[in-house]
Amino acid sequence: MVKKDVKIRKNGEIIKKLSEVVIFDNQVYSKNQQFRLFLSSKAGKDAVLKLYKNCNFYGTIQDNETIFFDSLVVPNDYYKFPRLQD
């Protein structure tokens, strides 16, 4: 899946703008495999998806909430869509 006009966020701030980027490799995800979010686990499993231990993108301070929100794939025009009610 390719997306145009992508913004990379770190700690909530835009750090890079790209004209085009592959969001995820759909060859990896078959009908038996699911796309996982940061800190999620597979059904019936206890192991959660975490940052690779040698990842230095966030430096030594790794705030899980910030990393989770930074990892969400959100369309540029998200504000045009209705919000779900709390």
Whether residue 14 contacts residue 7, with contact meaning beta carbons closer than 8 Å, is answered with yes
34-55 pLDDT per residue, tens = 667 889 888 888 888 888 888 8
Taking the C-alpha atoms of residue 54 and residue 76, their distance in angstroms, rounded to an integer, is 30
pLDDT digits (tens, 9 = 90+) for 58-69: 887 778 888 888
Q: What is the pLDDT of residue 12?
A: 76
The string of DSSP letters for 33-70 reads -----TT-B-TT--PBP---TT--TTTT---HHHHHHH
Please determine, for residue 8, whether its predicted confidence score (pLDDT) is greater than 70. yes
pTM for this one?
0.53
- Give percent above pLDDT 70 in the chain: 77
